[in-house]
Amino acid sequence: MIFIDACFKKQTPYTPVWFMRQAGRYLNEYKAVRTQAGDFLNLCKNPQLASEVTLQPVEILNVDAAILFSDILVVPLEMGMDLGFFAGEGPKFSKPIESQSDLDSLNDEAYTRLNYVYDTIALTRENLAKDKALIGFCGAPWTLATYMIEGEGSKTYAKSKKLLYSNPKFLHAILAKITRNLQYYLESQIQAGVNAVMVFDSWASALEESAYLEFGWEYCKQVASFIKRKYPDIPVILFPKGISGYLDKIDGEFDVFGVDWSTPLRIAKEKLGHKYTLQGNLEPCRIYHQASMLEGAQEILDLMRNSPHIFNLGHGMLPDLPRENAIKLVEFIHHYR
């Protein structure tokens, strides 16, 4: 698989490409399946439909990897938290974590209750072309903790950060419990058939450097090390969004570093390109305009020539991006020399 070869810094005939949120509302085929499912959580819990939308972008765009269709919040859901998705508001937990008793009540083995995810993986791997990789994923411990403490997405993360500074021991306990579940969750995904795993730390930029290294990155490293020591042939991708100011502090046992669009790729290459394959980092909004998109893609490909690289966006596909431009982008990358 060309994607797996690139993860391990092997020479490839062209730069492999896939897109974060490549299964989504910019595809009419996805919207039809979402309507059939009834709501987002039902779609995540239906292996037949979740597999169908996982495969759609591979068939439509011809990307080199599929990424499991699911959601990072299925882990706290199966830990015992009451989760709902609300139109225009996003995900919400009805009872956020506020006390030690709240934490103690959560399941230590949520990964055993996620069979619908593993069934989706098995079904997808069975129907995915042999030369295409299947990527599994989870949210990072810090990112999941913010949802579990705030009860929903946040602009300030005030509750989470208040806890960090006023009761760091309790926050570490929350993070440790999440981390254990994530380690075995990713292992179960591997056993079900994924070829690589990715950890999304979407809210990494919410913390100052010292706090992120202690409460964020350290737990990402624990997840990655657990997988690499047991499954050295499975690539691990880490994606901490918005930490360009301290890339020189990044270390750990993993294979691919995901670069967000706000981080200049040349800086990531200088700081990390000798240690890890880099993944990224086209600004997603460039896809709205084909000339801007191709100009940005060429700059990235030229910069990363002869360096280990996987082409991706610097964050996820947006719901109204023109699919014809996404198809053109994949063609351009595959044929660029």
Burial code (b: 16+ CB inside 10 Å, e: under 16) for 130-166 equals eebbbbbbbbbbbbbbbbbbbbeebeebebbbebbee
Nearest to 211, CA basis, from 145, 295, 305: 145
Q: Which of 5, 39, 71, 119 is catalytic?
A: 71
Q: Which of 25, 39, 231, 336 is catalytic?
A: 25
Q: Which of 147, 157, 185, 276 is catalytic?
A: 147
The neighbouring-strand residues paired with 136 are: 197
Cβ atoms of 205 and 242 closer than 8 Å: yes
* Strands annotated E in the chain: 65-67, 83-86, 90-93, 133-139, 196-201, 236-240, 256-258, 277-282, 309-313
71 is catalytic: yes
SS3 (DSSP) at 24: coil
Q: Which of 34, 125, 180, 286 is catalytic?
A: 34
Enclosing H/E stretch for 185: helix 168-192
246 is catalytic: no
Tell me the two tokens of residue 333: 């990358």
25 is catalytic: yes
- Residues serving a catalytic function are 21, 25, 34, 71, 147
